[in-house]
């Protein structure tokens, strides 16, 4: 295992043990909640996106959930990334993440763009775990359609 793999693995474990933005924020202003399940692995994510008064900027993303370390770490990494960006920027990030995760190891997530979530790059080589990593991102995509 390379040093990078080790680093990425530690980041995933760290986020799953110390999840960021865990606990749903109050529903106020424009907000929407999405509940997603991955029955294959037993992962569940409930995610809430709140949009600022301008209607475009994401105020914050909070979540609750249970399941494997990849699903929980991915939710934690995602919420860190989305705060304060616009809906369009979020959509672009979600699309890029999905493309990389479905690439079977061909595409890498850019750490400058994806921050800690770039650690999930390696998951794309394990098709059974892609759904785990995607779960929170699908939840955000869904919530933003309604927030
Ligand atoms: Zn899982």
Query: Per-residue confidence at 114, pLDDT binned at 50, 70, 90?
Result: very high
pLDDT score of 32: 97
Report, as an integer, the average pLDDT of 97-118: 96
What is the CA(133)–ligand 1 centre distance, in A? 7
In the predicted structure, residue 1 carries a pLDDT above the cut 70: no
For residue 2, CA distances in Å to 5, 6, 54, 122, 146 come to 5, 6, 45, 12, 42
What is the CA(23)–ligand 1 centre distance, in A? 20
- CATH number of residue 112's parent domain: 3.90.1010.10
What is the CA(58)–ligand 1 centre distance, in A? 26
What is the CA(18)–ligand 1 centre distance, in A? 17
Tell me the pLDDT tens digit for each residue of 48-97. Answer: 999 999 999 999 999 999 999 999 999 999 998 999 999 999 999 999 99
Indicate the pairing of strand 30-38 with strand 58-66.
unpaired
Contact 132, 71 (CB under 8 A): yes
What is the CA(90)–ligand 1 centre distance, in A? 23
Kindly state the DSSP code that residue 11 receives in the 8-state scheme. Answer: H
Q: How many domains does the chain have?
A: 1
Contact 74, 19 (CB under 8 A): no
């Amino acid at each position: 295992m390379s040093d990078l793999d080790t680093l990425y693995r530690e980041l995933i474990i760290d986020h799953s043990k110390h999840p960021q933005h865990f606990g749903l924020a109050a529903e106020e202003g424009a907000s929407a909640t999405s509940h997603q399940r991955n029955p294959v692995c037993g992962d569940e994510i409930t995610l809430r996106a709140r949009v600022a008064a301008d209607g475009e900027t994401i105020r914050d993303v909070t979540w609750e959930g249970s399941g494997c370390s990849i699903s929980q770490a991915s939710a934690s990494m995602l919420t860190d990334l989305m705060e304060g960006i616009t809906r369009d920027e979020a959509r672009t990030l979600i699309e890029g993440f999905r493309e990389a995760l479905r690439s079977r190891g061909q595409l890498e997530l850019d750490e400058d763009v994806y921050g800690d979530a770039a650690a999930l790059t390696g998951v794309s080589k394990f098709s059974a775990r892609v759904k785990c990593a995607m779960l929170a991102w699908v939840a955000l995509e869904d919530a933003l359609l309604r927030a």
